[in-house]
Amino acid sequence: MFQSNICQLLNIKYPILQGGMAWVANHSLASAVSNAGGLGIIAAANAPVEVVREEIRKTKEKTDRSFGVNVMLLSENADEVAHLVCEEGIKIITTGAGNPGKYMELWKAHGITVIPVVPSVALAKRMERYGADALIVEGNEAGGHIGELTTMALVPQVADAVSIPIIAAGGIGDGRGMAATFMLGASGIQMGTRFLVAKECAIHLKYKEKVLRAKDIDTVVTGRPTGHPVRILKNPLSRKLLNMEKNQEPASAFEELGKGALRRAVMEGDMDNGSIMAGQIAGLIKKEQTCEEIIEEIMKEMKIIMQEGWQRWQGK
């Protein structure tokens, strides 16, 4: 059986984490991923603390396995959520979109395993010093809010800079991608886009169809001038946003257009005015499957490709 240090750290069967996707990663998806042997993660995103509490309780009802909560640090509710996870006895936290330094002491005092997302070597080193247990090293192939570097360039540089385990994210959609990041120094992966189309993922059908139909070049990065670049699928909204960037319109105009846009896509299936966050690997994803099918398939591919890679090296 394949086991990595991430499996021991998180008490899971396979070193596969589900990304904490805002408005998407709820109890249904998180419990399904955990029940399939990966690590399901509830996204706190911008949600009010009571909504997050309810999601945590529902997840506990649906699985007795390990699961985590993602704290999105740009949220105005981040402080409250940071304390809620302690109250609710959450064992694993991932963070995104910022530096979680100010919460590390609190979380470590509660015995929580803390895994920040880092987009750079500098933040990776700082998080290790603060006591992070592992890192999610996310390249800009990912959907949603992204950093500057690709997975291919970032993962080996962080691997050389820290000694805690690394989970690679951004651009990984199958066993080949998983094997590739292991060659770069990762010992686990996090996937978002592949789980967007999971049967247990309760987003609008039109969102899933859009991901399933996406081609390799169908994502764009919007919002660079705001300091919060976001990768989404091309649609009328993305075209409007990019036009506004070209015309150097003020940040307030972006905010106005972007407000509620993710919710419109996820909940209402509004493919014109909604923000359809997805990673560059969307073009590879062609079918809806259960979380169990996704995870088992990736682990099978991973094992085969690790063996084939050696044969290729030998010229066979």
CA 40 to chain centre: 11
Report the nearest approach of ligand TUI to the CB of residue 213 (Å). Answer: 22
Question: Based on the number of CB atoms within 10 Å of its own CB, is 312 exposed (0-12), middle (13-18) or buried (19 or more)?
Answer: exposed
249 phi-psi bin (left φ>0, alpha ψ -120 to 50, beta other): beta
Q: Is 60 near ligand TUI (CB under 6 A)? A: no
Segment lying near ligand TUI (by CB under 6 A), choices 60-68, 94-102, 208-216, 246-254: 94-102
Q: By CB under 6 A, how many residues form the interface with ligand TUI?
A: 17
Report the nearest approach of ligand TUI to the CB of residue 237 (Å). Answer: 13
Of 228, 234, 240, 263, the one binding ligand TUI (CB under 6 A) is 228
Q: Is 72 near ligand TUI (CB under 6 A)? A: yes
**Whole-number Cα distances in Å, 300 to 14, 185, 279, 304:** 11, 20, 23, 6
Q: Is 263 near ligand TUI (CB under 6 A)? A: no
Q: What residue type is assigned to position 182 of the chain?
A: F
Q: Is 99 near ligand TUI (CB under 6 A)? A: yes
Q: Is 171 near ligand TUI (CB under 6 A)? A: no
45 contacts 75 by C-beta, under 8 angstroms: yes
Q: Report the alpha-carbon distance of residue 169 to residue 276 in Å, rounded.
A: 19
Tokens representing 193 are 């886009």
Q: Is 230 near ligand TUI (CB under 6 A)? A: yes
Q: Is 97 near ligand TUI (CB under 6 A)? A: yes
Give the strand pairing for 67-72 and 40-43: parallel
Q: Is 27 near ligand TUI (CB under 6 A)? A: no
Of 6, 16, 17, 22, the one binding ligand TUI (CB under 6 A) is 22
> What are residue 221's phi and psi, to 5 degrees?
-105, 120
Closest CA to 266 of 276, 258, 257: 276
**Contact pattern from residue 106 through residue 145 relative to ligand TUI, giving x for each residue in contact according to CB under 6 A and a dash for the rest:** -----------x-x---x--------------x-----xx
Closer of 60 and 234 to ligand TUI (Cβ): 234
Q: Which residues bind ligand TUI (CB under 6 A)?
A: 22, 72, 74, 96-99, 117, 119, 123, 138, 144-147, 228, 230
